Chains A and B, each alone.
Chain A
Amino acid sequence: MTYEQKNLRVVGTRPIRHDGPDKVTGRANYASDFTLPGMLWGRVLRSPHAHAKVLSINTDKARALPGVKAVITGADLPLPPPGVTQAGESAINTQHLAKNLLARDKVLYDGHPVAAVAAISEAVAREALGLIEIEYEVLPHVIDVDEAMKADAPLLHDDLFTEGVEPRPETPSNIAKRIVVSKGDIEKGFAEADIVIERTYTTKAVHQGYIEPQGCVANYAEDGQAMVWCSSQGQFVIRDLCITMLGMEASSLKVIPAEIGGGFGGKTTVYLEPLALMLSKASGRPVKMTMSRGEVLRATGPHSGSSMTARIGAMKDGTITSAEVVIKFQAGAFPGSPVGAAVMFCSAPYDIPNLSITGYDVVVNIAKVHAYRAPGAPNGAFAFETVLDELAHELKMDPIDFRAKNSAVEGSKSPYGPTYGPLGGIECLSSAKNHPHYKANLGPNQGRGVASGFWINIGGQSAATVVVNRDGTISLVEGCPDIGGSRASLAMMCAEVLGIAAEKVRPSIVDTTAIAFNDVTGGSRVTFATGMAVVQATEDAVRQMRERAAKMWDIEVDQVGWRDGAAQEMNGNRSLTISQIAQKAAKTGGQIMGHASINAAGAGPSLTTHLCDLEVDRETGKITILRYTAFQDAGKAVHPSYVEGQMQGGVVQGIGWALNEEYIHDENGRLENAGFLDYRMPVASDLPMIDAVIIEVPNPNHPFGVRGVGEAPIVPPLAAIANAIYDATGVRMRDLPFSPPKVLAALEAAEKTKANG
């Protein structure tokens, strides 16, 4: 489908979201809000060690406890055939997944599941966990990515040989993969440069931090038919992963999507669902499982910590001639970090003739990392955009002008291959430069930082059904969980095509048996790809309504047009509204239902530029964010309030990542801050209002010009804040997070250097 400029009456307005009333009254049902008669409670026993051999597991005492109905261990979950399941931005290796669900001979991180029980109450289930006897042999562990790459590092997997290196190494290591993106000749490029800056950066693992812990209810019937109710970013991926794990047929498992309490990429895989199914099968009863917050932080998600070196060269006129970046990512206990995205996108806002970007995917003794909003890109941008800031200062160029001079534009070749279509990068930069924020005065110890970011956005499989009801209302059936207002944006696009009000379209998100396959809600794809499916399904319904009108008028269908929610006779003045057509549908061929099931291509990348003002308390090292403005190309903002909301939310996650969020492990590799008290996500009083400036450079591949918006806003904040700290203090911070002790130490070190210099 292609973009067409037209007068829009619904798209671009701000109606109340359809699922809003349920969510402000507490009526909406999330993962743990569901119960079934006779339901048991399941709980997971987790490794207290970061790395250990499991010598023996004895579940006899737990099984003997009255009220315990089932106990399972890794022995009960045979390894599935090797394979990969695609879940949005993550590719999930099925054998690794099985080993992550229940450990076998080795535990690889603090929190790694070892056994699970189902019992008549949560209290009995907890008690039973305490009766399971496990003998461990503790092994040396490694968490830091640079340490894990050393030849003498503790080895997580003795069958892991680095991919992407020729010849294939003969000895196993923790380096799962090396990937390289390159073009031109970097050394020639550096030789042309008048100035070259090389810096090293480190970041800690962080968590997605969704407020709803993982939870599910599973029911496995005697005939092998099963149901899972859970919150996820995609019921179809949950189904596919569960059936792969348990060797079931797709038609035997119905996954019902609960409302989802945040995901940010973290809910595109399974942790509990296969266990709940196994426990239900073993006990013959429905089983509910819910994670505690500690379990969520220890055993789900996190996003990779990283170690990066960026070297960039530029000429005196500000032309970047060459860039070399090396990025190492923690993968967690199994291979598969998002380092590829960091490699492909860190330089993607710019057109640089000579590039070499290398990434390493490195296993370490923390939970297997999982996608987190623009997975990998914030790390890469942190390194790249702060070196750019240093170059701009050295060249005495305005940092926005410097970026604009090197910006990729339509027709530039992207670092990752394709040639760009229309891009909003220049528009974001010029909008930032002309914004009052950029000209506002700063006080003492205050600074302003600029950074840009890129996210590719994806398309993928989506389906939609448009059911035309007798009264002229529309039931819009779709299959992508709504994390942030997508029901509203999809219903609005349907309403726009029909020419009716958004309120006349009622969207619902249905289970895996009620619609064709949908990829996850992830990759900023739903408004783009599912939106395209909705438009096609609606156009299908319109076509059918025109046919019915033609039949009712006894004229040819090409004599019937469609305008303002009604079929219009082209060479006359008759018209038939949707309800008039629908009321006769039984007689003209049955109820009208439009449908589309597509694999959407042509997602448009998002470009964004952020401005951040902050103040540094020089005596305590504490940073206060004073003002923040995000400029982003949304292609077309279908519901501008929820586009702003995505931008504001992404910015604040980035602020949390920059200032205080980090995984802290003790000397035994146990997570020390497995709770919201010490995993410090931003609270309301930490923040100013976050200004969101929406820029609209239409995506030519979508009927309304939509690009994704959800992910790009988390990309620039790390660098924007680092650059603002420099502006405020003259100190460059390169080790995240910028928590008060680290900032104070950096300020003092700079003072000392100045005094000695």
Chain B
Amino acid sequence: MAKSHVSTTVNGDPVEFLCDTAETMLDVLRNTMGLTGTKEGCGTGDCGACSIIVDGRLVCGCLMLAVEATGKQVTTIEGIGAPDRLHPVQQAFLEDAALQCGFCTPGFIVAAKALLDRNPDPSETEIRYWLAGNLCRCTGYDKIVRAVQHAAAEMKGQPA
């Protein structure tokens, strides 16, 4: 069957791709664009490893058809931080040992950034509930939550 042509914006760059209508945004990011930082842990929206930001909303890449990306702004882990400077969330994850195997880490960082973008001063409870859709089997979440708190403090300390 004919593929669909999609024009979208990924990490600030205009991007065009062809996809089957049944392909998910996660499939296209990973297999067509080679943006493999976004991970697949379940394919059913239950683990958050494929977290991306679409038009300002945190979503699972596996629960969005790629054809739906038309005209949207998509941010993936590859679009967070700059070559000369990691995003404060990334830096805090490093400093606070908030990763072990690292597989869930991109999803957590995308989700945490989305949280701090809208709530610069989240409570521990708010962080835990916001991140409840991101499964981590290694850390027990303790150091992840602390890293997000740490990043929030860093970001508040910086001039906007």
A–B touching in complex (CB under 8 Å): yes
A residues adjacent to B (C-beta < 8 A):
14, 16-17, 19-30, 32-33, 35, 123, 208-213, 259-264, 290, 292-293, 483-485, 639, 641-642, 644-646, 648-653, 675-677, 681-685, 687, 689-690
A687 touches B128 (CB 8 A): yes
CA distance A292 to B123 in the complex (A): 35
**B44-52, B65-73, B152-160: which lies at the interface:** B44-52
Q: Is B142's CB under 8 angstroms from A28's CB?
A: no
A-B contact pairs, 25 of them (CB 8 A): A14-B97, A21-B86, A23-B105, A24-B99, A24-B106, A30-B103, A209-B137, A211-B49, A261-B101, A262-B138, A293-B46, A484-B101, A641-B96, A648-B139, A675-B44, A676-B47, A677-B46, A684-B128, A684-B132, A684-B136, A684-B141, A684-B144, A684-B145, A685-B129, A687-B128
Which of B37, B96, B103 gathers most chain A CB within 10 Å? B103
- Across the interface, do B128 and A685 meet the contact criterion of CB distance under 8 Å? yes
- For the complex, give the distance between the alpha carbons of A16 and B98 in Å: 11
Whether B101 contacts A483 by the Cβ 8 Å rule is yes
Is the beta-carbon distance between B128 and A259 smaller than 8 angstroms? no
Cα A292 to Cα B47 with chains together (Å):
13
A208–B141 alpha-carbon span in the complex (Å):
17
Interface flag for B4 (CB, 8 Å): no
Bits for B99-141, please: 1 = Cβ < 8 Å to A, else 0.
1111111100100000000000000010111011111111111
Give Cα A212–Cα B141 distance, bound, in whole angstroms.
17
A17 to B139, CA, bound (A): 15
Nearest opposing residue in chain B for A33, CB measure: B36
Mark contacts of B63-90 with chain A using CB atoms, 8 A cut-off: 1 yes-contact digit, 0 otherwise: 0000000000000111011000010001
- Count of chain B residues with a beta carbon within 8 Å of a chain A beta carbon: 58
Complex partner residue of A687 from B96, B101, B141, CB under 8 angstroms: B141
Tell whether A16 pairs with B140 under 8 Å between CB atoms, given A27-B37, A484-B100, A484-B101: no
A689 CB contacts on chain B under 8 angstroms? 142, 145-146
Q: Which residues of A contact B140 (CB under 8 A)?
A: 645, 648-653, 682, 687, 690
Expressed in whole angstroms, the Cα–Cα distance for A208 and B137 within the complex equals 9
Q: A213-B40, A675-B44, A684-B127 are in contact. Are A20 and B99 (CB under 8 A)?
A: yes
Per-residue interface assignment for chain B, residues 8 to 46, with 1 indicating a CB less than 8 Å from any chain A CB and 0 otherwise: 000000000000101000000010001111111111101
Provide the bound-state CA to CA distance between A687 and B128, in Å: 8
> In the assembled complex, which residues on chain A have CB atoms less than 8 Å from the CB atom of B105?
23-24
Pair A683/B49 contact, Cβ less than 8 Å = no
A17-B94, A484-B138 as given contacts; A641 in contact with B100, CB under 8 Å: no
- B150 CB-CB contact with A under 8 Å: no
**B78 lies within 8 A of A293 (CB):** no
Residues of B within 8 A of A683 (CB): 132-133, 135
Given contact pairs A20-B99, A211-B41, A642-B100, enumerate 13 new A-B contacts (beta carbons under 8 Å). A25-B90, A30-B39, A210-B101, A210-B103, A211-B39, A211-B49, A261-B101, A293-B42, A648-B140, A653-B137, A676-B41, A684-B132, A687-B128
Give complex CA distance A683, B145 in Å.
12
A682 CB to closest chain B CB (Å) equals 8
Q: Given the complex, which residues of B lie within 8 Å of A682, measured CB to CB?
A: 140-141
Residues of B within 8 A of A17 (CB): 94, 97
A24 to B104, CA, bound (A): 10
Instruction: Write the nearest CB–CB distance from A266 to chain B, whole angstroms.
Output: 10
Q: Give complex CA distance A22, B36 in Å.
A: 12
Q: Which residues of B contact A14 (CB under 8 A)?
A: 97
Q: Knowing A210-B137, A652-B140, A681-B137 touch, does A16 contact B102 (C-beta < 8 A)?
A: no
Q: Are A690 and B97 in contact (CB under 8 A)?
A: no
Bound Cα distance from A190 to B102, whole angstroms:
50
Q: How many A-B residue pairs have CB under 8 A?
A: 186
Q: Are B134 and A16 in contact (CB under 8 A)?
A: no
The secondary structure that dominates the B interface is: loop
- Check A681–B135 contact: CB distance below 8 A: yes
Q: Check A677–B44 contact: CB distance below 8 A.
A: yes
- Which of chain A's residues have a CB closer than 8 A to the CB of B81? 24-25
B13 vs chain A, min Cβ distance (A): 16
Cα A677 to Cα B133 with chains together (Å): 11
Query: B46 — which chain A residues lie within 8 A by C-beta?
Result: 293, 675-677
Please give the distance in Å from A109's CB to the nearest CB on chain B: 21
Partner of A211 from the list B30, B43, B47 (CB cut-off 8 Å) is B47
Contact A211 B104 (CB under 8 A): yes
Write the chain A residue with the least CB distance to B81: A25
List the A residue with the shortest CB-CB distance to B41: A211
Q: Which 10 A-B pairs have the closest CB atoms?
A: A26-B37, A261-B103, A23-B102, A652-B140, A641-B97, A26-B77, A676-B46, A648-B140, A484-B100, A33-B36
A262 and B97 contact, Cβ closer than 8 Å, known pairs A26-B78, A211-B49, A292-B43: no
A687 to B142, CA, bound (A): 9
A24 touches B132 (CB 8 A): no
Distance of A14 Cα from B96 Cα, bound (Å): 9
Contacts of B20 in A (CB 8 A): 123
Docked Cα-Cα span, A485 to B138, in Å, equals 11
B136 to chain A, nearest CB (A): 7
B99 touches A649 (CB 8 A): no
Bound-state Cα–Cα, A132 to B113, Å: 46
Query: CA separation between A652 and B137, bound complex, in Å?
Result: 8
Residues of B within 8 A of A19 (CB): 102
Give the chain A neighbours of B77 by CB distance below 8 A: 25-26
| Distance between A200 CB and nearest chain B CB, rounded to angstroms | 30
Residues of B within 8 A of A28 (CB): 102
> Which chain A residues border B94 with CB–CB below 8 Å?
16-17, 20-21, 24
Q: List residues of chain B with CB within 8 A of the CB of A646.
A: 100
Q: Which residues of A contact B35 (CB under 8 A)?
A: 26
Which of B34, B46, B101, B134 has its CB near the most chain A CB atoms (within 10 A)?
B101
Q: Is the CB of A32 within 8 A of B40?
A: yes
Contact partner of B101 (CB less than 8 A), chosen from A20, A27, A32, A212, is A212
Q: Is B86 a contact of A676 with CB atoms below 8 Å? A: no
Q: Are B104 and A25 in contact (CB under 8 A)?
A: no
